[in-house]
Amino acid sequence: MLHILFFLSLLFYASNGAVQDFCVADLTAPEGPAGYSCKKPAKVTVDDFVFSLGTVGNTSNIIKAAVTPAFATQFPGVNGLGISMARLDLAPDGVVPMHTHPGATEVLIVAQGTICTGFISSANSVYLATLKQGDIMVYPRGLLHFQINSGKTPALAFVSFSSANPGLQILDFALFANNLPSALVEKTTFLDDAQVKKLKAVLGGSG
């Protein structure tokens, strides 16, 4: 039995040299370029590695859609591990408007319904598809893409990202929902002044 204790103590010595296979986010400590600081291993529990995307998002809004993220901020277990998820709910006629993820590739899987989706490449090619339950699509990192419920029933999709913090830049928000002056929007997008002002009014932008 003595030998066994030696076995345990000696090899655990080695094992303890590598306590960190993961770095569960400690949102109260400094954040660095690679992500949040790590919680002390002794404080980590299975709850850090489990999250629920089981609640239907509220689609009673103008886009009839909801995005529920499970990024490192919400789901601390993925911090530093190069992956995260989100849930997409689309009521009939719902749309996730044109957007990009500045730091990640996305893969989408349709769990319910039918989704018309696509992305546009740097070479300006359009890749469009209509996805049914069980279909997956990949959107390469940083490219404009969108999802539309093209069926008559609610659609549900789950998306995964190649980053624990993929970012999300919604085109209409970037152009019309902040204080970027209308003159600059018009100059850099060739949109008409009336169009810009109309969408600024709808989305709460100023300037």
- SS3 track for 10-37: HHHHHHHCCCCCCCCEEEEEEEECCEEE
| 99 assigned ligand-binding residue | yes
- Per-residue DSSP letter, 92: T
> To the nearest whole angstrom, how small is the minimum distance from the Cβ of residue 133 to a second copy?
6
Ranges within 95-154 binding a second copy (CB under 8 A)? 95, 97-98, 100-103, 105-107, 109, 111, 116, 118-129, 131-144, 146, 148
Q: By CB under 8 A, is residue 46 in contact with a second copy?
A: yes
106 annotated binding-site participant = yes
What's the closest the beta carbon of residue 29 comes to a second copy, in angstroms?
A: 5
Residue 93 in contact with residue 155, Cβ under 8 Å? no
Task: Give me the least distance between CB of 153 and a second copy, in Å please.
Answer: 17
Binding flag, residue 157, a second copy (CB under 8 A): no
In the numeric block, which tokens belong to residue 44? 């980590």
Q: Edge to edge, what strands does the sheet with 106-112 contain?
A: 65-70, 84-90, 155-161, 106-112
**Minimum distance from residue 27 beta carbon to a second copy (Å):** 12
Length of the chain in residues, anyone? 207
For a second copy, the closer of residues 153 and 189 by Cβ is 189
Binding residues for oxalate are 101, 106
